[in-house]
Structures are given as structure tokens and as C-alpha cells.
Structure 1
């Protein structure tokens, strides 16, 4: 559980977060005393005002949905606590137009129901036309456990807000806006899962209820948005197993405790994948893809809309929710279907569904035929090599490099991001596979071109780029040594080609000897080989250069940002230089 925050005073955090909405959306105003965010009067004809709200900590819900095409106002409480009835009353009676009536839409939690409901009754007593709806979409707690309270309101409730807000923007009556909000809710199911509970800024860890954290090897299925437990925990599960379990709870028609919607072949669905706040966008995208695939495969449901993002969070909750809305006929005619209302534009910073209806209408599953670009084949050269000797020496160097991967990884974990050893090993394994499975020609240029291609396709990161540039340049450097008649690649020709490649590399990296990079091993090797034509002398220079990196302060790469030099200075060499040096040592020993 993440317990570190930039804000230590939760009330100040709520106020400053709400105020930020006036900075990011000039159409809204903020009443800090009552924590009300509301739309500024714009002179347009009166419409049904749609008001929502609840405890803070669910951002962008609910204040982030105030804006044209969505909510008219939102009332916030403190973190995970309902606002008071007086706050809500002021929002209804002082902040919005009530001529055509007011619809209060909240998620179904007891404190919100009581306080917003009390305010609704006060407004009704004052003669304001008003309707009230508590949205319940969660299936994590079934009918038996939910009892009279009913379903909790979680991520899918945002779809109800969007549809009701869009309909109100079109000038619909209070009766119709309320009816369609209810219709949407009855056709909506959601379920969340989380790897851990969340921590409230400014609270001591011990202030949480017992069982503060979910064990590392478990996931809570059906966790609520206020740390409430779900239906059960799954132990040591895969994402595929989790999604299968979640979709079964959402769509199993035989589950009498949770079957809130039916599913027929002709039904159309909208899929919403909601981030509970703590997942990376990368992981959320992967989850969306896996849910979509299983819906199509197991339930024959191809969603007509797939919406992904952070819509109703649980602070920095390490989880997500799946919502499915079965589209029902609104009976309101063209332009007012559920799908059209979802697609309608909204000027609210929290609504993130930018794909237009026309783009969805033109969607296609037909594979895109890519242009075929054929790379020119490497032209043969007259530079010959003993392919058996080449395979023996290079393989020895590669195997030595692979053996030293744990040590390179350890060095890079201390000084960088820990990926150098794995990247070098992956490239070495790919080249070794090429050497072992291919009948190598005796043309050195062709062989080196094949090796460069393998490295380019199998090594990523900074090291992969450097080696790819160097090896591709080496191909050109060797070709320059082709005198037009058949000749053997000598150490002199290798030295000249390596020197050419080193110069070419200098166009793309400012790294020089002394910058604590792999150049501290590579450059001495190339230069001494050029001077002496002695491979072992060149390897000795590379080893000395690598050793020297232990005492250098990094000038390039991630090591620049790593502190604690007093702990590793004089002890840890540059990982890239060390890995290269080990390859060169292995190669030289096999000659």
C-alpha cells in the first residue's frame, strides 16, 4: 500500500483540487465554503439541472464532470465522506437554475443517500420540481448481502451521469431525464478488483480498519471504492483467470444473486474499463484488450463502444473496474438514443471519450494491408574469412558475455535501471543462435550484415541502439577495405574498419573516453588495434579502460542521476564497458 503523499492535510488537498477545476475549465465556478463546483450562467435557455456529488477521493468524479453536456453542479465532502444536506441544499437552491427542475444523481452509499435525499426534500418543500436517483451498478455484493441497501454505486455510474447530462442539455423534460437515468441504471452492471487497499493522505496507517493490506499473492474481487471488501479474494491468480471470474459475475444468467441484466444475441453493449487510480496507463490498456477479447470469445459480445480511463477512482487504488451497459430503447426518437447521448460532446475535464460518433460508425475489422518495403540485399564482397574460425571465436566471446550477465545486471542495478545485462544477454543469445543454425558464407561483409540485423532486431534500449549503429557502420567500414580482388580480412583491415565504425558512432553520441560508458572499453580497443594490429594488446587496453571506469563520475546515461557515489566509487565499473570487455576477452582467448 502506498502511504506517501505530497499533501499531508486532507482538507486542504480537497479544497485546492476543487479550485483547480476553475483553472482547467473556465465555464465553472467554485464555492469553497460549501465545496460546490457549478456551471457559470451562460445566458442560454433554462434546462433541467443535473446535480451529483459525494465524498472526495474519487476524482475526476464528481466535480470533474461539471460542464456543458454533463453535470450542472457537484457537491463534495471530505475524503470518502458525504457532504452535508446543507451543502447540497445550497447547491440546489442557490447555484443552479431550477425553472425546469433538478435531478439529483448520486452513487448508492448510505451517507450520500441520506444527505442528498434530505436536501431534495427541502427543495421540494420550497416548490422546486426535483427528482432523486441513487445509482447502483455493482455486482460485487449480491442481492443477499446487499439486502435493502441494494447495489453499491461504482465506476459504471459515470455512464448514467453522462447520458442524463447530455439529455438535459438537449432540453428534455425532468420526467424524461429521470426516466432515462433509471433505465440506464437498470441495464448497467459493474465489478471492480484490486491488488491492495488505499491510504488516505494525512492519516496514520493504523487508522485504517483491520486487515489494512491485501496480501501480495491475492487480489480482492469486488472491492468497493472506499476500501470495502468484495465477494472474495483470489490467491495466486493470473489476469486471465481474474477477468474470467469477473465477467462470470457480471454476465452469468444462472447466478440468481447477481444476474441483474439479461443477454440476448441482438443486444448491444458499451464497455467501460475504469482505473481505480493507481494503475499505469500501460497496464490499463493491456487489461482493456484482455477484457475485450474474452467478451468476444466467451460471450459473443463485441462492444459497440469501448471507453477506457480514470473516471471514478479510489484515490490511488491499485485496481480497475469493468462496466457493461446494455443499450435500451429510450423511446425519445432520433438523436436521443443511449448511444447518441454517450457520444454527445461534453465540456467537462473528467470526461475522456474523444472518439466521435462518425469515427465509430466508420470502424472496420478489415486488416490494413501494409506497404511492402523490401530492403536491398547486401551485395557480396571480395573479403573472405575462415567461417569456422569466425564461428569459434565469436561464439566464445558471446558465451563469456552470457555467463557474466548476473554481474552486469548487478552493476547496472546499482548504477542504472538494471536492464543492461539482460539486454546484452538477449543480443548475445540471438547472435549465437545465428552462428549455430546458419551455414555461414565466407564473405565477411555478408556475415557481418547478418549479425548486425540480428542485433538490431533483438537488443533494445541505449545499448541496443549503440551496438546496432556500430555494427551497421562496421559493415560499411569493411566494404571500404574491399580492393576488388579476393583477399582475407587481416587484423589491419579489421582495425581500419573498426576505426571507421567508431568515427561513425561519434555522429550520434557525444560519449568519449572518460564519460563512464562502454566507449571506455570500445575506443581503447579500436585505437590500440589500429596502432599495433595486435588483438591481445587491444583487449588489454579495453580491460584497463573498463577498470578505469570504477573511478569515474558518469557524464552520460542514467548513471548521471544516481547518487551515493561514495558507496560505489572505486568498486563498480560501468556495466556496458564491463560486458563488452568480457566479450572481447572471450573472443581473444579463442583465437
Structure 2
């Protein structure tokens, strides 16, 4: 890898790169505080007549996604730091403050855990805060590697084709459901795979010592992800054999893990050959030619559209990806076929269409005023005993803090060792809130404050899961609000918890048996609904957590971590949750 950069401060690099997009496309603006690129309001955009599209992810994949914002493409893009998803708060602000949601908002993200969870949390935060317009999130799976269990296929450069089709269709005035359905149809008919000659170095990070994990001279990693994720295999091969292998992974119907899309010579197809950032234009031409020749020779496939260039990078990755779209009937008539939508002009710098002269001459000066946070928590009319609630929560949170060393030890064996610290940080934050916050007897307001504390103090996957669940729990309470204040019942809590589980399932496939915190959460919710007894439900959660010992993981970092010892410890997330629930139940006695 090359560890030499002109800009070595990653924060400065991301901010200046985002600012540059407003210099090359006058129709977009930057919310620098939240790293949001969005279309400026004009007479033809953001006027409520079109569905708004939001996408994004970690920086380092330019021109995706920020340079795809503009008329006929995205309405807004939310950027994280390099290779890290943006926060839920950034996403929430994009939804509420940077796009017009009158006709609905479609949030499209790639199938990476952090992106799905944080964008999902942003959607749930908007809903929990009183958002009344339609807002849907969808996480795409486009990669050819289906061997990661419930994690699913990773989205790579084929994503850009989905965004292009969706953006053009939205501009035509289509409904939210039509845009969603066609975007999904497009993604379901794309297969992508990437390969690289080396890993990439993130500016600002120290350079690791050479190890056995590094690619050797002329060795290619086939199926490498856009964040240096390991691929399917490594080989020392020349380009013709490499392309042959990649196309076989994409199109061989006998490969049940990867051959999920059947393409015949009778099908119209669109080919996208994408530069991961470090391949010369000259060499990309040679690669594209090799791919086209092999598609025709070995599969009798002659794409009706061929796109070659830089659409989604991995910083300066010395590699490329191949994406093939099987053209399907959208069912929407003339002017709205997949090919017509792909061919439609788009005023973005990350696509092949140039910004027209009229846009430069009529440079709009308006920006969307930055609205304040007006969605203060409103009473839910569900009454609680604030002293008892504080006592129970304090008992549960102190038990989590006391268990931190055990949780950290378990996570050191099966993960990256940060679960215990993260849970402790969240618990301490909520305890401080309970000490200084004004008492309230309204369950909705009380839970809203707790949720905000968790969001601000807990990061990573666990933090996102807890925040999504708590936001959905708040929403679940509000959907059962009585017309006048009345004591909240166990039945109301049980119903809200069930709806929270349903909401959480939209953003993670985790279920009991996957060795995650769900092994404790599901038994608690189910037993509470059955018995109406918190202590019995907490004991069920504790048994569920204990049951993860020896359980093979289907999700989370444990899937990728080798070594011994995991069979003898419970899942750290499940154990931490069970400890909290046991403490909570004891505090209610």
C-alpha cells in the first residue's frame, strides 16, 4: 500500500473535499457541521413535487456519495469519517432540515452494519420526534459473496446504478412507492465483485509493520471489499485469468453462495467497470476491454450499455470492480424504463453527464435555512412513579457497571474488547442524567431523555442497536397514548417492547440463536408479555444469555474472529443486557 498523502489530517481532508463539491457544482450546498451535501432549493428542485433521496456512508469512496447529489440523482448525501458511517444525528438532520419531505423521503444505504444501523436510527429518531411524512430506509445487498451468513452481500459500485435509476425516476414525479419498488428491482438484478492488488492506507493512521496478512508482490485479492475487507481468495494471476475468475463468481449458477443472478444471452444488460481509485485511465481501458471480450466469448452476453470509470472508490485502491445489471421491465411505461432512466441527464459531477450552461448562469443563491431542534418531547399521557423508575434504573445501571470487567474479558476473547467499556459509558451517562435531570412522571418524556443520553454516550454497533430500540420503544408508547393522563400498565410496556423488536428487525437480521444480545432481549420481551412479571422476564433473559456459551455466531465481529476460548464464554452483549435487566427487576421490588 502507499502510505504517502498530500493531506494527512483526515478531518481536514474530509471537510475540504466536501467543500470542493460546492465549487464544482453550484446547485449544491454544504452543511459543514453535519457533513451533508444537499441540493439548493430552486424552482425545479426541493419544491415538494418529487420524492427526496438520501444516501451516504463513510468518506473515502468518492465520487460516491457526495458528488452524486444534484438534479436527477440524490437530494442529499450524509458523510462519515473515512470508512466510518455517519451518525444517526447527521442522518436525522438531513431528513428534517436538508430535504423537502412533502412527497416522501427514501433513504438508501449499502449493506454495511454501521450504515444500516445509524441511518436506521436516524429514521427512527425522526419518527420518534414527531415526523409525520413518509420516510423509508432500505439497505442494499449487491456483492457476489453470499458466504457470510446473515451478514449478507456487501454493496459496492453497482449501488451507483440503483441511485441513478431512482434519482431519474423521482425527478419524473413518481411516487415514493414507485421509486422504492424500481430501486429494489434494480438492486435485485445487479451482481458486483471487486479485486485489488493491495490494501489501502487511511490518511492519519500509523503504518503497520509488514505481516503475513499483506498481499505479496503480484498477488490479487479476489472479492476484496471497499474497506479492505478480506475477499474470497488470493491468487498470483494475470488479468485474463483474474477476469475469468471474477465473472465465474458472478455468473456461475452452480455456485450457490454467489450465483444468485441468472443472466442469459437473451437478456439486455448494463456493464459497469469501476476504478477503485488507484488504477490509471489507460489500464482501466485495457481491463474494460478484457471484461467485454470475455462476457461475449464465454457467456454470449453483449451489454447494451457499457460504463467504465471512477464511480465508487476505496481511497486510492489499486483495483477494480465489475457490476452487471440485468435490465428488467419497470412496468411504468414509456420514458421510465431502466435504460431510459440510466440514460437520463443528471446534473452531478460524479456521473458522466456534465453540468449544463444554464445551471452555471442561473446559479441559485438561496440556501435552506437551518432549522432549530423543534421536536421537543411531548407528553405521552402514560404516567409512571418517577422515584420507583429512578430506583429501578439505578439498580440496573449499577449492575452493568459492576459487570464491566467480565463483559470486557468476554469481548476480548470473542470481539474487539470494547463492549464492556461502551456499556459502562452508557450506564454512567444515564446515571448522571438521573441525578441532574428534572423529575417527570410521563413515561414518554422520561424515556426520551434516557434515549438521548444513550445516543450521546454509546457508539459502535451496540450503541446504534440500543438507540434504535429505545427510539422505537418511545414510538411504541406514543401509539398507545390515552386521551388523558393514566398510569402505564405492564400490558402497554409489553406491546411497546414487541413493536420495538419489530422495528429493530428492519435494521438487523439478528435473532435468538445468532449469539448476540438478541438472545437475551427476545426472551425478556416474550416472557414479559406472557407473565406480566418483570423479574420472571429478566430471569428468562439471563438464561438466554447463558445459553450463548458454545453457540456459534452468525453475526457480529465474532464471525470473523479466530482463536480459542469463545466456546466457554457467553456473548458479551447478551450478558451485559441480562445483567441490566436483572438489576432493573430487583430495583422494582
TM-score band, normalised by shorter chain: 0.5 to 0.7
Alpha-carbon deviation of 1:8?
1.0
Contact 2:70–2:347, Cα closer than 8 Å, also in 1: yes
Q: Which residue of 2 aligns with 1:361?
A: none
SS at match of 1:16: helix
Counterpart residue number, 1:135 = 140
Partner of 1:122: 125
1:308 paired to 2:311: no
CA displacement at 1:133 relative to structure 2: 1.2
Q: Which residue of 1 aligns with 2:229?
A: 228
- Please name the residue that 2:216 is paired with: 215
Output the aligned Cα RMSD.
1.7
From 73, 79, 82, the counterpart of 1:79: 82
Superposed counterparts of 1:6-85, under 5 Å: 6-44=6-44, 45-46=47-48, 47-85=50-88
Unaligned runs of 5+ in 1: 355-591
Task: Give the C-alpha shift of residue 353 in structure 1.
Answer: 5.7
Residue 202 of structure 1 deviates from its aligned partner by 1.2
CA contact (8 A) 1:307 1:353 kept: no
Do residues 347 (structure 1) and 355 (structure 2) align?
Answer: no
Distance 1:211 1:43, change over 3 A: farther
Cα deviation code 1:303-350 (max 9, x no counterpart)? 000001110000000000000000011000000011110000000100
Residue 132 of structure 1 deviates from its aligned partner by 1.1
* Displacement of 1:121: 1.8
Change (3 A) 1:66 1:211: farther
Instruction: Give SS of 1:206's match.
Output: coil
Q: Deviations over 1:396-427 (max 9, x none)?
A: xxxxxxxxxxxxxxxxxxxxxxxxxxxxxxxx
Pairing partner for 1:109 from 93, 107, 112: 112
Counterpart check, 1:93 vs 2:96: yes
Instruction: Provide TM-score, normalisation by structure 1.
Output: 0.58
Partners of 2:251 and 2:52 in 1: how far apart? 34
- Which residue matches 1:266? 266
Take 1:261 and 1:213, find their aligned partners in 2: how far apart are those partners? 32
Question: In the TM superposition, what whole-angstrom CA distance separates every residue of 1:502-534 from its partner, at most 9, and x where no partner exists?
Answer: xxxxxxxxxxxxxxxxxxxxxxxxxxxxxxxxx
Match of 1:194 in 2: 196
TM-score by length of 2: 0.58
Matches within 5 A, 1:215-364: 215-235=216-236, 237-352=237-352
Report the secondary structure of 1:274's partner residue.
strand
1:415 is aligned to none
Query: Shift of residue 206 of structure 1?
Result: 1.7
Aligned partner of residue 151 in structure 2, secondary structure: coil
1:211–1:199 distance in 2 versus 1, CA, 3 Å: farther
1:184 corresponds to: 186
Question: Which deviations, in whole Å up to 9, do the C-alpha atoms of 1:64-99 show, x marking residues without a partner?
Answer: 000000000000000000000000000010000000
Query: Which runs of at least 4 in structure 1 moved beyond 3 Å after TM superposition?
Result: none
1:211 positional shift: 4.8
Q: How many Å apart are 1:135 and its aligned residue?
A: 1.4
Aligned length: 351
Provide the secondary structure at the position in 1 that maps to 2:123: helix
Q: Which sections of structure 2, spanning at least 5 residues, go unmatched?
A: 355-589
Q: How does 1:452-471 map to 2 (within 5 A)?
A: none
Contact map agreement 1:327 1:339 (CA 8 A) in 2:
yes
Secondary structure of the equivalent of 2:38? strand
Q: Deviations over 1:272-309 (max 9, x none)?
A: 00000000000001000010011011100000000011
Deviation digits for residues 424-454 of structure 1, max 9, x if unmatched?
A: xxxxxxxxxxxxxxxxxxxxxxxxxxxxxxx
Contact 1:197 1:212 in 2 (8 A): no
Instruction: Give the secondary-structure state (helix, strand or coil) at the position aligned to 2:163.
Output: helix
Of the two structures, which has the highest relative contact order with CA contacts closer than 8 Å and spacing of 6 or more? 2
Separation of aligned partners in 2, 1:207 and 1:40: 46
Distance, in Å, in 2 between the alignment partners of 1:121 and 1:177 is: 21
